[in-house]
Amino acid sequence: MKDTLRWSYAINAWNLRMDVFVRHEEQQRALKTLSVLGFDHVELASGMGGRWENLGTPEIILINHGSAEGLLAFLRRAGISGVSSWCWDPGQPAEETGYAFLMTRNPADHDAIVEAAKPFVDLLAAAGGDQLVVRPAGSAWMAPPLGDGDAGIVGSLWNRVGEVAAAAGVGVSLHYDCLQPFHTEEQLVSLLDATDPALVGLALDTAELTIGGIDPVAFYDAHHGRVAHVQLKDTRFQDAGQEYLTPGAEATMLKGGAGRRIERWFYELGTEGGLVDVEAFVASLRAHGYGGWVVVEGDKGGNATEVAMLNSWFLQRRLGVEKV
Amino acid sequence: MSAARWSYALNQWDTNIDTFVRKREHERALKTVSISGFSAVELTAASFGAWEPLGNPRQIRDLYGSVAAFGEVLRGCALDGISSYVYDPFIGFDVEMGRGHDPLDPSSAGPIAETSEWFAGTVRELGGSVLVVRPVGSAWQTGPLDDSQIEVLANLWDAVGRRTAALGVELALHVDFLSALRLGDGLDRLLAATDADVVGLALDTAELAVAGMDPVAVYRRHASRVRHVQLKDAREVVDEAEAMTPHAEQFVRTEGGRRGIERWFFEPTDEGGLVDFEAFVSALHEHGYAGWIVVESDQSPHPAESTMVSGWYVQKRLAPLLAR
Amino acid sequence: MDHWRSNSPSGPIDQWRSRRTMTRFLRQVAAVGFDAIDTFDFRYWQILEQYGSVANYQEFVQEQGLERIVNTFHGVYYEPDRYAPEVPETHATIVEDFKVTMDRWSGIQLDNVIVMPGSRFYDDHGPTDDQLKHAADVWAKVGEVTQQYGVNLTCHHEHYAGIRNRRQIDTFYAYADPRYVKFFVDTAQHCIADVDPVDVYEAHHERVTGFHFKDTRNKDVNEDYKLFPDAEVSAVTTEKWFYEMGTAEGLVDFERMMRSVRDHGYEGWISVEHDKADKLGGDYAESTAISRWYAKNVLDGIYAGAGA
């Protein structure tokens, strides 16, 4: 996209389950789709790791493509010139780390998490990426309510990862999702306050904040100095109250309809009944001179290609962004 | 043991003109229906030439050589035959996508009776016993039916019923949720005006439920007239004002009206919807219902899955209610 | 081109289901950089019901960022006793049909109305020489009618239709008045019928008024054209005939095609078509994106290299 904002697209939308999006041909088709839609950078996601997640973790990417340069060459074949960012959830057990169940709220796991972050940082830096986007903590329902010390414990971990990343020229940003425990605006701010602004920023996800009950435009206006990364998507629903605390909320709330027959939470920009004021949000990014990446996400809602096409249309026709 | 027999409507497989044309697609659907516990299928009349090969007797003949040869295919798939054909007189069969006849026009009586006989002969040849018809147009087209209109319809369907009865096929009038018969006491008056020996009612649980009518109550009121049952579920009601929307077939049924409802009908299950199937089937049992019960899941995105799930529900929950 | 299917909560639907689904379709086509659309003229009644008029529908198309409707495909099921190009007794009906059709579409300016010039022949012989001549005659009469509206009558040759092989095509055009009967090249259809699309284009380029660019991975080597109702839906070993250009293993040489189009100075529209793209797990949206990627990254450069 030709714009003062830097636009990228999250490739995870195509990776619906273990046995799809494994062939390089399938990945090329998705990349070509994004290219012709005007995007020239993509965001990677670690997912569950393992050999079927072959754009997921550093080890597997290197097996497939040899090096960062090999990965970039693979992207360039489809007209994509680089990687903006990489999403990683250290709490997601992965084959590469022996399915370790690491918790950021547990200080005893911190050394292991810092170690596990290093290959991501290294490959991301070598590929010219900007942000390691991390899940700050595991789902709220899986652990006791936040205690007074939790923000400090979690913040200290991400400061350490931030130091490692900064040394390689990469930023770390904490991604707000609607299930993690720093859920309210106050909790989220307490976590940000526990981190070093020079090392750690916020990855602001418009749909996730909205589902969690936080207005993304107002939040960005109030805290724009801490926002290092943006993920742009829409939603038609909010958490009705405490749904994020439902046991197994990943399944029961986000996939199982939350008892309200909600079959899909995430939507393309400009969707009918969308709760995110995308135009106002992007205007605010411009007003504050935002310099990071804006990653548009389809996020497993509907047909990935259709959603990408509709997102690109919205950028071109509603946000006035010209294609590359 | 109950005399009622279970059939399945094939309409859900036929989503477009370039699908469900091949014999092998038919066979796969027929085998799925058979192995899910049903002994027959219901066909729906259509007029799109060779691309709707089960749409009328001529097309069956063109693809299979003869109606009898299609009967062999049904038996080869371990079905007894067809239960019924659904015929909407507004469809014409002289040419592809032809325009048929309005039952309220007295001059239509001849051609409608002839076409009905044509379909009834095929029902008979394929082992079925019911011709299901759309007795009148939609509410928005007619408004409440006056006595003279009821008389025209009664004359028409009495004449048709006598002709199909001569072929050993019962005639059953089907009330859809946009039908003129939903207005006032139109249905009761039409049934009263027709000859109970030759004109029956096809009771469709979901269509009545969407029309705001309780299918159990309608059944109890007209049990002696019910010659055919179609079993499906619904979740939304269309009130009279919405049903009066001009071109409601397009703007309400197809497009989903102002609410944007994308799917009206669901297969019968115990997952919850407007229809209480167990109460309904218990009522059939009380009145000694002895006709076909055709399970439908038109609008299912996964026809085979719907057939199998509803097959389970029929075998494990509903059929035992009839066998008491 | 108008073919399109997407999944909905109530199963597969096409873009004509509602204005909402049409909006989504048009936005997707516009997003990847297509400039216009083609349609089928049997959509006329739906257009009236949903948009009021053909001109209104075109405005709706323009509101989503596309320029206009370029071509319409006239889909009719030919029957010798009523409506068939090879049967002179039906020609008056055919010409009359086009008078009505052109009047219906006169609210917008089309480039082409596309027809299948011949009926189906489920046998080895196909149309006789006389039958080809009759077909050429009626399309010339129809072309005269369409040209009164500034629209070309142009012929599209399905791989399973009566005028499908090179001999039949050449004979047909030898009889057909070049002023009124134009040629619409469909790369995949010709390829399946073992007609080289570039060669046939070059032989008849002076009367070519449009293209469907699509690919195939299979030629008809089983006489599938004899199958009822048509080989596109009933071929035994080929469940899916058409792939988007840029597909792996495609048989059409699009680079050569594009060089030829450039060298012959063609300046009209090129339509991209995905017919039955959803077969075998395919996806219309993705095929649309991949084909546009191919056009932008491969073909545009060839065309821009004119004179080079």
DSSP B67-96: HHHHHHHHHHTT--EEEEEEE-TTEE-SST
CB within 8 Å: C290 and A272: no
The span from the CA of A219 to the CA of A221, in Å, is 5
What is the model's pLDDT at position B148?
98
Weakest-pLDDT range from A51-60, A162-171, B24-33, C126-135: A51-60
Helix, strand, coil percentages for chain A (3-state, nearest 5): 45, 15, 40
In angstroms, the CA B264 to CA B248 distance is 14
* Inter-chain touch C228–B63, beta carbons under 8 Å: yes
Q: Which residues pair with B40 in a beta bridge?
A: B7, B81
- Burial label for B73, CB within 10 Å (0-12, 13-18, 19+), is middle
Residue entry with tokens 């273990």: A18
HEC sequence for A214-237: CCHHHHHHHHHHHEEEEEECEECC
CATH 3.20.20.150 fits B5-322, yes or no: yes
| Residue at C285 is within a domain | yes
| Strand ranges (E), chain C | 6-8, 11-13, 36-40, 68-73, 112-115, 152-156, 181-186, 208-213, 215-216, 242-243, 271-272
Distance CA C163, CA C186 (A): 13
**Separation of alpha carbons B241 and B222, rounded Å:** 26
Q: Is the CB of residue C157 less than 8 Å from the CB of residue C185?
A: no
Verify whether the Cβ–Cβ distance C285 to A312 is below 8 Å: no
Helix (H) or strand (E) holding A64: helix A58-65
Separation in Å, CA of C270 to nearest CA in chain A: 18
Distance from the Cα of A313 to chain C's closest Cα (Å) equals 5
Q: Tell whether the model's pLDDT for residue A229 goes beyond 90.
A: yes
Q: How confident is the model over C60-79, as pLDDT tens digits?
A: 999 999 999 999 999 888 99
Burial class (CB in 10 A: 0-12, 13-18, 19+), A176: buried
The answer to whether the CB of B186 falls within 8 A of the CB of B104 is no
Q: In a mutagenesis test of the C interface, which of B62, B255, B259, B296 is the best target, namely the one with the most C β-carbons within 10 Å?
A: B255
- Give whole-number Cα distances, A204 to A133, A194, B11, B213, B299, in Å: 10, 17, 47, 49, 39
Which structure tokens are listed for C255? 């680079």
Query: B250 to chain C: which residues are within 8 Å by CB?
Result: 49-50
Cα–Cα distance, C42 to C97 (Å, whole number): 12
Half-sphere exposure of A94 (CA within 13 A, CB side): 25
Q: What is the pLDDT of residues C92-132, one digit of tens each?
A: 999 999 999 999 999 999 999 999 999 998 888 899 999 99
Cα nearest neighbour of B256 on chain C? C18
Q: Which residues in chain C are closer than 8 Å to A33, comparing Cβ atoms?
A: 32, 286, 289-290, 293
The beta-carbon neighbor of A303 closest among C283, C292, C297 is C283
Whether the pLDDT of residue C1 is over 90: the answer is: no
- Assign A294 to helix, strand or coil: strand
Give the residue from chain C lying closest to B266, CA to CA: C10
Between chains, do B18 and C82 touch, taking CB under 8 Å as contact? no
What six digits make up the tokens of B303?
């026809």
* pLDDT per position as a tens digit, A159-195: 999 999 999 999 999 999 999 999 999 999 999 999 9
Contacts 24+ apart (CB under 8 A), C88-91: C88/C134, C88/C137, C88/C138, C91/C134, C91/C137, C91/C138, C91/C141
Q: Does the beta-carbon distance from C49 to B63 stay under 8 Å?
A: no
Tell me whether residue A323 is in a domain: no
d(CA C22, CA C38): 14
**Residue written as tokens 């299918």?**
B215
Q: What is the pLDDT of residue A257?
A: 87
CB contact under 8 A, C290 and A37: no
Considering only CB atoms, B16 lies closest to which of C14, C77, C82, namely C14
At B149, list the tokens.
């209109």
Q: Is residue B233 within 8 Å of B269, Cβ to Cβ?
A: yes
Query: Could C14 and B301 be called an inter-chain contact, meaning their C-beta atoms sit closer than 8 Å?
Result: no
Q: Answer for the pair B45, B134: CB distance below 8 angstroms, yes or no.
A: no
Instruction: Give A-chain residues touching C24 at CB under 8 angstroms.
Output: 306, 310
Segment A246-298, tens digit of pLDDT: 999 999 999 888 888 898 999 999 999 999 999 999 999 999 999 999 999 99
The domain containing residue A127 runs over which residues? 6-317
Average pLDDT over residues B83-87: 98
Which of C286, C288, C291, C292 to substitute to test the interface with A, most A CBs within 10 Å?
C286
CB contact under 8 A, B62 and C18: no
Computed over its alpha carbons, how large is the radius of gyration of chain A? Answer: 18
Alpha carbon distance A262, B310 (integer Å): 22
pTM of the full structure: 0.91
Report the number of distinct structural domains present in chain A: 1
**Which among C6, C27, C297 has CB closest to A313?**
C27
CB–CB of A309 and C27 under 8 A?
A: yes
Whether C240 maps to a domain, the answer reads: yes
| Stretch 107-136 of chain A: residues touching chain C, C-beta under 8 Å | none
Question: Nearest-CA distance from C218 to chain A in Å?
Answer: 20
Best of A305, A316, A318 to disrupt the C interface by mutation (most C CBs within 10 Å)? A305
CB contact set of C257 (below 8 Å; sequence gap of 6+): C187, C197, C198, C201, C213
Q: Pick from C8, C10, C242 the residue to mutate for testing the B interface (most B CBs within 10 Å).
A: C10
| C226 vs B84, residue with greater confidence | B84
A322: in domain: no
Residue pLDDT, tens place only, C160-210: 999 999 999 999 999 999 999 999 999 999 999 999 999 999 999 999 999
pLDDT on residue A301 = 73
The chain B residues in contact with chain C (CB within 8 A) are: 12, 15-16, 18-19, 21-22, 49-51, 53, 62-63, 95-97, 247, 250, 254-256, 260, 262-265, 299-301, 303
d(CA B296, CA B203): 12
Q: pLDDT tens digit string along A191-228?
A: 999 999 999 999 999 999 999 999 999 999 999 999 99
Residue C308 has pLDDT above 70, yes or no: no
Q: What pLDDT score was predicted for residue A154?
A: 98
Q: Residue C36 is part of a domain; what is its CATH number?
A: 3.20.20.150
CB A15 within 8 A of CB A21: yes
Chain C residues in contact with chain B using a Cβ-Cβ cutoff of 8 Å: 5, 7-14, 17-20, 42, 49-50, 77, 82, 228-230, 232-234, 276
Model confidence pLDDT, tens digit, residues B91-116 = 999 887 788 999 999 999 999 999 99
CB count, 10 Å around CB of A223? 15
Q: How far is Cα B31 from Cα B28, in angstroms, rounded to an integer? A: 5
Provide the mean pLDDT of chain B. 96
* Mean pLDDT to the nearest integer, B172-195: 98
CA angle B262, C1, A319 (to 5 degrees): 65
Of B234, B205, B218, B178, the closest CA to residue B294 belongs to B205
Contact A310 C31 (CB under 8 A): yes
Q: Which helix (DSSP H) or strand (DSSP E) does residue A6 occupy? A: strand A6-10
Of B70, B77, B65, B87, which is closest to residue B132 (Cα–Cα)?
B87
- Report if residue A243 sits inside a domain: yes
Residues C138 and C153 sit within 8 Å (Cβ to Cβ): no
DSSP secondary structure of C187-223: HHHHHHTT--HHHHHHHHGGGEEEEEE-EES----S-
| C293/A contact by beta carbon, under 8 A | yes
Phi, psi of A305 (to 5 degrees): -65, -45
* The predicted structure's pLDDT at residue C306: 58
Write out chain B residues lying below 8 Å of C232, CB-based. 18
The answer to whether residue C1 is domain-embedded is no
Structurally, how many domains does chain C consist of? Answer: 1
What are the phi and psi torsion angles at A31 (to 5°)? -65, -40
Please state the φ and ψ torsions of residue A32, each to the nearest 5 degrees.
-65, -40
Q: Tell me how many degrees the CA angle C165-C167-C173 measures, rounded to the nearest 5.
A: 100
Res. A72: pLDDT tops 90: yes
> Domain map of chain B by residue range?
5-322
Tokens, residue B245? 């929307």
* Partner-chain residue, chosen from A33, A272, A303, that has the shortest CB–CB distance to C6: A303
Residue C43 within any structural domain of the chain: yes
Six token digits for residue B185 = 């006491």
Q: Does the residue C142 lie in any domain?
A: yes
- Cα–Cα dist C133/C128, whole Å: 9
Closest Cβ opposite residue C293 in set A36, A312, A316: A36
Q: How far is A79 from chain C (nearest CA, A)?
A: 8
Per the document, the length of chain C is: 308
Contact B250 C50 (CB under 8 A): yes
Place of tokens 């839609």: A37
Count CB pairs under 8 A between chains B and C. 62
Instruction: Report the candidate in A67, A88, A101, A220 with the shortest Cα–Cα distance to residue A161.
Output: A88
How far away is chain C from the Cα of B322, in angstroms, using its nearest Cα?
A: 31
Q: Which residues on adjacent β-strands are paired with residue A204?
A: A230
- Residue A293: φ, ψ to 5°: -85, 145
What is the pLDDT averaged over residues A21-34? 94
Nearest CB partner across the interface for C28, out of A25, A29, A309: A309
What residues of chain A lie within 8 A of the CB of C32, using their CB? 33, 36-37, 309, 312
Q: Please check the confidence at residue C234 and state whether its pLDDT lies above 90.
A: no
Query: In this predicted model, what pLDDT tens digit does every residue of B249-286 receive, in sequence order?
Result: 999 999 999 999 999 999 999 888 999 999 999 999 99
Nearest to A90 by CA among A54, A48, A153: A48
Q: Report in angstroms the alpha-carbon separations of C33 from A4, A259, A313, B147.
A: 21, 41, 10, 59
**What value of ipTM does the predicted structure carry?**
0.86
- Does B22 sit within 8 Å of C233, measured CB to CB? yes
Report, as an integer, the average pLDDT of A301-321. 95
- Chain C contact set for B12 (CB, 8 A): 11
CATH number at residue A25: 3.20.20.150
Phi and psi angles of residue B198, each rounded to the nearest 5 degrees, phi first = -120, -10
pLDDT for B1 equals: 52
Chain position carrying tokens 């909320």: A249
Q: Does the CB of A306 have a partner CB in chain C at under 8 Å?
A: yes
Torsion of CA A63, A64, A66, A67, to 10 degrees: -100
From residue B184, alpha-carbon distances to B146, B187, B223 in Å are 10, 8, 20
Instruction: Give A96's pLDDT tier (boundaries 50, 70, 90).
Output: confident
Yes or no, beta carbons of A29 and C290 under 8 Å apart: yes
From chain C, pick out residues whose CB is under 8 angstroms from the CB of B47.
none
